[in-house]
Structures are given as C-alpha cells and as structure tokens.
Structure 1
Amino acid sequence: MKIVLTGSIGNIGKPLTQALIAKGHDVKVISSNTERQQAIEKLGAKAAIGTILDEKFLTDTFTGADIVYLMETMDAAGGDLADQENDFIAVINQIGQNYKEAIEKSGVKKVVHLSSVGAHMAQDNGILIFHHNVENILNRLPEDVVIKTMRPVGFYTNMFSFVHSIRSKGVIISNYGGNRKEPLVSPLDIADVIAEEIDKPFQRRIVRYIASDEVSPIEVAKALGEAIGKPDLQWQVIPSEQLLNIWLNAGFNPQVAHGFIEMQESQGNGKLYEDYELHRPVLGKVKLHDFARDFAAAYLQK
C-alpha cells in the first residue's frame, strides 16, 4: 500500500518507517527539514519536503495515498517553548484543519491519527487540549473516511527533562507524586501498534490506547536512581503555584507552563486516565527498567 507519514523520522517515525518498509509498503515521509531527505531515502522511503502548515502541500502529498498517518506536536507548532508570543494551541488547531482539508481534497479514505491520552477531555487536560481539538476536527470528515485514533499515554522520553533537576537539586521535582500508578509508553511500542493497525482492515472508526508499563512516581524515582548510581533518588512534590513560578521564571511560554501544570494535576488525581481505565490496552514490550538504561546513558553524558 501507498502510505504517507507525517512527523518525519523521529522517535516514532523512524521505527514506524522501518517496520512499514520491511512489510513491503510504499512509504512517503513528510519532513520540513531538507537535511532529513537523505536519511529518509536511506531507510527506503520517499521524502516529501514541506510543512504541514501548508494545506496545498499536504493535499498534493496525500493525493494517491491509500493511508495517511497524522500527528500533531508542539515542535510542528514552533517548538521553542521559550517563545513568549507563540499560541501553540491555535497553530496546532490550524494543522488539524489543514489535515482535514487535505484529506477531503485528496480523496484519502483511511487515516491513522496519533492523538493522546486525555484527548477525550474538553477541559482539565492542560496542554493536551490541542489533541482533543484535532480529534474533533478530524471527526467532522465524511463518514466514509475511516479514522483509527491512537491515544498513547505519557512518553518515557519526557523523563529526560528530569536530568536538569537531578543534577542541580539532586531530586525529581513535580506537582504530583506518590504511589498512584500511571501508564507510560515507549515510542517503539507506539510504532509497533501503528504498524499493526495499518495492516488491519479499516472497517470503522476506532480509538486505541497504547501503553508499555504502569508504575508510580516513587517507582520511577527508584528505577532511574538505581540506573544512574543514586539509589536514594527522591521524587519531590511541590505546590503547583511554586512549580509554575519556577517555569515562568525560567522563561517558559505562559500557555505551555500553565498547560503542563494543569495536565500534571490531572495525572496526579487520576482524572487524565479515566477513559484509559475503561479501555485498558495490552501493555507493550518496553518496560521502565529498559528505559532507565537509556536515561542513565543521557544523564551520565558529560
């Protein structure tokens, strides 16, 4: 099948491209970075260099495809979390509208959309509201367009942000913590699930959650601490207002800072995972202890 992938060849895109190529699919990868073209072609895929902010480019690229894989990220909306003026949510809403228009104009009938846990919520999900918005935009497509909505949980790779506080303060700092387990996921398991869904029949619109492991913040601190040679590493909980001020003083975009605070509050009280709990998936292969080795490699780099 002819498949178009958005998201370039990052943590999900690269293993997904490799998996689809290995299955014999004709894969085209969209990237805004001309320097990625050679790397994309080396994987055996075709490169489409352009921006998902350009609806005509998307339409031209989608035309003739059997399936399109869509994802929206803050990187695609500007990426610089210190940009004080950027309205990330508005830009991503526009990306969602561009996707919808390009799908309608190109005639594509099969869509895999990478959304997120929390996208079922119209409020209290913080920065994840943009996934909720894009899901709603795509769901306005004609009924004969079959959409498989993938909702991964929090990425292990987000924990690389802990490196700074561990080095400077000796602790992990957040506005929630404790023994409540929450699901986490590896990009490798996300790629596996998407590749699996692409090869399954597209008979109706579905939502599928993706997770690799379920662990508590205390267990995360223990696993990461042992991996980096700090077995007593603690997960320290501070008030939301205090954490917000730390981020704002560090130069974070206010929309992003407030959005992450609200999202993490919903993680801590479990609200973010209410729909996940009703539709729990089979967990993937990559467990916390596997990621801890990658975390240690990053932490120990000089």
Structure 2
Amino acid sequence: MNITITGSLGNVGRRLTEKLVARGHRVTVVSHSPERIAAMEALHAIPAIGSLQDAAFLQEAFAGADAVYIMIPPDPSATNVRKYIREAGDRYAQVIARCGVQYVVNLSSIGAHIPDGAGPAGANYYVEQKLNALADTHVLHLRPGMFYTNFLGAMNMIRYQNIIGNNFDASLNMILSHPHDIADAAAEALHTRSFSGKKIQYIASDERNGSEIASVLGRAIGQPDLAWINISDEQMLQGMLQNGLTEEMATVYILDIGRAIRESKLFDDYAKNRHTALGSIKLEDFAKEFAVVYKQALAMAEEAK
C-alpha cells in the first residue's frame, strides 16, 4: 500500500516510517529539509522535500496515496499560531479531497473537543471538523496528551537549580504521551485500515502529577530531591523568551495549556474515554531514556570546559 506521512523523521515520524516499511508498505516521507534525504533513503522510504504550506507540493506528495498520516508541526515564525494551524488544516482537507485519499490518521491533541480550547486545542478542533466534512474519507484523530519529550527542555533548570516545574501546582495530574506510543497507534491504524467513518483515539501513556514526575526523573538521574515548583505565568514567559521562544509560541503552546490544566478545562472528554486510551510506556520507562540524554548532556558540557 502507498502511504504518505508528514512530520519528517521526528519523534513520531522515524518510528512510524520504520514500522510501515517493515510491514511492506511503500512509504513517502514529507520534510522541508533536504538534509534528511539520506536518512529517509536509509530507511527505504521515498523523500518528498518541500513546504507543507505549498498546496501544489502537498498534492504531489499525496497523489496516489492510499492513506496519509498528517500532523501540523509548530512554526516558530508564525505570528498567529491558531490561524497557522487552521490554514494548514484547510490545505490538508483540500488536498486529501483532490487526491481521493481514502484513509487519514490525523495527529490532533487532547482538548480538541472544545471549539475554543486552550493553546492549540481549539485550532485542532477546527482541523478535526474540516477533516470530518470529507464525505468519502475515513479519518482517525489521535489525541495525545503532553509529550514526555517536552521534559528534555528542562534539563538546564534541573542541572543548575535542582527544580522542574510549570505554571501549575505539583498536585495536578497531567496526561502524558510517549511519541513511540503515538507512532505505534498510527502504524497499526495505517497498516490494518480497520477504522471507518470518523473516529477519535486518545493516546495516554501515563497519568501523573508534578510531584511524581519530579520524584521519578530525579531518582533516575541521581537527584532524588528534585522538586516540582509552580512558576508564575510571568516568570515562565520571561524564561521562555530568554531561551529563544517567541511570545506567541510560548503563550499558545505552554502558558495557555498550563492555565487550562490548573482550571480543569482540558481533560473532561478524555476522562469519559479513558478506558479506550492506548499507550503503554510509563513514566518510569521514559525516565531511563531521560537519564541517558541527561548524562550525555553533562558529559558534553564537561568536555567543552
């Protein structure tokens, strides 16, 4: 079967490509980076290099595909993130219709059941509705929670201050998702094509609060007293601006999500469907991966001295 996947060889895309190729599918991987061509070919995938904002290129990449995996990568240059996501959704829907793609797996997000949901969730709601309007296409929306890999961005805070945190209290639960669990769910759906109509699938690898996250990660890296702290919105914003994020990106992807978690506005639909969620990689499993990356970063810092 011919399958096109977007998202290049990122945290989800690489594993998804490997699994689909191993099952005998002809896989085209969309990326904006020519530097990824060699890696794609090494995986026996077909590179398609261009911009997701170019509808003509996208149509060429989707032409002849029996199924596609679509996601909307963050764009640091976007001055209006929600508008950027909605426009990307419009393009995907138009190209899928023109190409007659029968099966679509769409990477959405938890909270996408809310039309004006926090962060990117409301825009993802819009994208889901656009895809749901495709009369002759079967669509599966994957709704993951917060990616484990986001915690890798806190390594400097952990190293220098022995703290980790966000703009909500340590007692509040988060729905956590491992990229491999997302890739595995997408690979199974694309391989079997057993979904029909318009479906939603939550990906929840684990549910843990801030205190538990700090404890598990801290033990894994030999810092058992690592503490989760509640950082004010303003402090969070200033820290992210200093680390190179734009105010728009920081607000939509991080601050707004944190506010929604502390106001209990994000997980209500997930709670109704928890029993059907997929995901098996627990926080303790991810902590082992985190420790490897953390120790590598420490070793590189020592060598650079």
Q: TM-score scaled by structure 1?
A: 0.91
**Greater CA deviation, 85-94 or 272-281?**
85-94
Name the residue aligned to 1:40. Answer: 40
Name the residue aligned to 1:145. Answer: 137
Give unpaired runs (5+ residues) of structure 2: none
Query: Structure 1 pair 55/209, CA: closer, same or farther in 2 (3 Å)?
Result: same
Quote how far apart the aligned CAs of 1:129 are. 3.2
Amino acid at match of 2:219: E
Name the residue aligned to 1:229. Answer: 222
CA RMSD of aligned residues (A): 1.8
Out of 167, 174, 178, the position equivalent to 2:166 is 174
Q: Is contact 1:124–1:262 with CA below 8 Å preserved after alignment?
A: no
**Greater CA deviation, 43-52 or 175-184?**
175-184
Name the residue aligned to 1:215. Answer: 208
Name the residue aligned to 2:151. Answer: 159
Amino acid at match of 2:28: K
Quote how far apart the aligned CAs of 1:282 are. 4.2
Secondary structure of the structure 1 residue equivalent to 2:266: helix
Out of 258, 262, 266, the position equivalent to 2:260 is 266
Superposed CA offset, 1:177-228 (max 9, x none): 3233322111111111111112132421101101111111110000111111
Asked whether 1:204 is paired with 2:197, we answer yes
Q: Distance in 2 between matches of 1:256 and 1:35?
A: 25
Query: Structure 1 pair 216/29, CA: closer, same or farther in 2 (3 Å)?
Result: same
Secondary structure of the structure 2 residue equivalent to 1:126: coil
Name the residue aligned to 2:99. Answer: 106
Name the residue aligned to 1:29. Answer: 29
Q: Is contact 1:68–1:112 with CA below 8 Å preserved after alignment?
A: yes
Quote how far apart the aligned CAs of 1:154 are. 0.8
Q: Distance in 1 between matches of 2:277 and 2:90?
A: 32
**Greater CA deviation, 164-173 or 62-71?**
164-173
Q: Is contact 2:21–2:27 with CA below 8 Å preserved after alignment?
A: yes
Secondary structure of the structure 1 residue equivalent to 2:47: strand
Name the residue aligned to 2:249. Answer: 256
Quote how far apart the aligned CAs of 1:250 are. 5.2
Out of 230, 233, 242, the position equivalent to 1:240 is 233
Amino acid at match of 2:292: A
Structure 1 segments, 4+ long, off by >6 Å, are: none
Amino acid at match of 1:173: G
Name the residue aligned to 1:195. Answer: 187
Name the residue aligned to 1:9. Answer: 9
Q: Distance in 1 between matches of 2:248 and 2:63?
A: 35
Q: Distance in 1 between matches of 2:240 and 2:180?
A: 30
